[in-house]
Amino acid sequence: MKILITGGSGFIGSAVVRHLIENTTADVMNIDKLTYAGNQESLASICRSPRYHFDRVDICDRVSLDRVFSEFQPTHVMHLAAESHVDRSIDKPDAFIETNIFGTYSLLEATRHYWCTLNETKRVAFRFHHISTDEVYGDLEGMDTLFTETTSYAPSSPYSASKASSDHLVRAWQRTYGLPTLLTNCSNNYGPYHFPEKLIPHIILNALAGKSLPVYGDGHQIRDWLYVEDHARALVKVVTEGSVGETYNIGGHNEKKNIEVVFTLCSLLEEFAADVKPAGIAKYEDLIAFVKDRPGHDVRYAIDASKIERELGWKPEETFESGLRKTVEWYLNNREWWQRVLNGEYKLSRLGEKA
């Protein structure tokens, strides 16, 4: 296999790259624009592998995409490059429209052009896997329903609307042009190498610094949490074994209120980091501060992942409790990584880039 991954220096993308290099024999080409969320240091453990390749490419740049396809000759494409932070999409939606919609269109066209040049055997074996989010489905009503692969789309934010648009483009290219695509929608990811703007790392790092722990509204928004390494395994399972034209929902079977997540993190920090607690703080949970809710905030997401378990034999290995313990321990043991993110030094890293 020769797998082209877009956004392979991001949180989920880097987990997929590490999994492929460490657990398969595939050659991997990572193309990434290296926006603020792309971090080459997340790939330090595998960047010297002869099977790993990197090219700094914007997926909106069709000329560069055509060059990469021609030179690398992929057998599979895994499309993870995206703007993904809801708050940022509310403040500046234009980047989300550009990357998530136009960028996906550009990538689909570059892929289609390349795919059409392949011989029949290679065309049949080729796969384009688009990685999306459960946020395209919008809100769930009540506590008994789950998102399935046939749930109607009802995006609430500029981010989720842009991802919904990209999902529709992928399905249209499969229906109209016959491009062999697969699509996955996942629940909230967490784990090592998560950019600090997201809830779990933000709470951990603020607590260690003695800063307030902001919780939107009353904190009763419910999310289904998926450990990122479980997600990486699922994505590779889909791209190698999934059926063309199918959608697979990937979830962790871990519904938690945001406030529950914050209290659990505080409890774990009391267990693992009591000796480094900032001066004047009796308990980490004393730092919790409720703030004004974000506009259009969805109340509950929850994934029905029975299809991928039934058809492909995947299910998460980590419970929320085991995954969160691993996550807290990782941040405590990898201070240099996140300190370089906070001070901006990670942007200067050239790990994996050609000399």
pLDDT per residue as tens digits for the range 8-42 = 999 999 999 999 999 999 999 999 999 999 999 99
Beta strands at 181-186 and 127-133: parallel, antiparallel or unpaired: parallel
Q: For 220, phi and psi rounded to 5 degrees?
A: -90, 5
Neighbours of 115 (CB within 10 A): 19
> Looking at residue 273, what DSSP letter applies?
S
Average pLDDT, the chain: 96
pLDDT per residue as tens digits for the range 107-158 = 999 999 999 999 999 999 999 999 999 999 998 987 889 999 999 999 999 9
**Mean pLDDT calculated for residue range 56-78:** 98
- pLDDT band, residue 349 (cuts 50/70/90): confident
Q: For 199, phi and psi rounded to 5 degrees?
A: -50, -60
Closest CA to 49 of 5, 87, 17: 17
Q: What is the DSSP string of 139-153?
A: PPPTTT--B-TTPPP
| Active-site residue set | 134-135, 159
pTM of the predicted model, to two decimals? 0.95
Distance (Å, whole) CA 341 – CA 338: 5
Neighbours of 355 (CB within 10 A): 3
pLDDT at res. 354: 63
Distances 103 to 28, 187, 223, 260 between C-alpha atoms, Å = 20, 22, 28, 36
pLDDT at res. 103: 98
Vertex 130, ends 141 and 96: CA angle to 5°?
70
3-class DSSP state for residue 177?
A: helix
Domain annotation for the chain: domains and CATH numbers: 2-348 (3.40.50.720)
Distance (Å, whole) CA 83 – CA 157: 13
| Residues 315-337: b if buried by 16+ CB within 10 A, e if exposed | bbebebeebbbebbebbeeeeeb
**Mean pLDDT calculated for residue range 265-269:** 98
Residues near 197 by Cβ (< 8 Å), separated by ≥ 6? 85, 87, 88
pLDDT per residue as tens digits for the range 86-109 = 989 999 999 999 999 999 999 999
pLDDT of 355 over the 70 cut: no
Contact assessment for residue 185 and residue 250, using Cβ atoms and an 8 Å cutoff = yes
**Mean pLDDT calculated for residue range 260-274:** 97
Contact assessment for residue 249 and residue 238, using Cβ atoms and an 8 Å cutoff = no
Percent of the chain residues topping a pLDDT of 70: 99
Which residue matches tokens 């769930």? 140
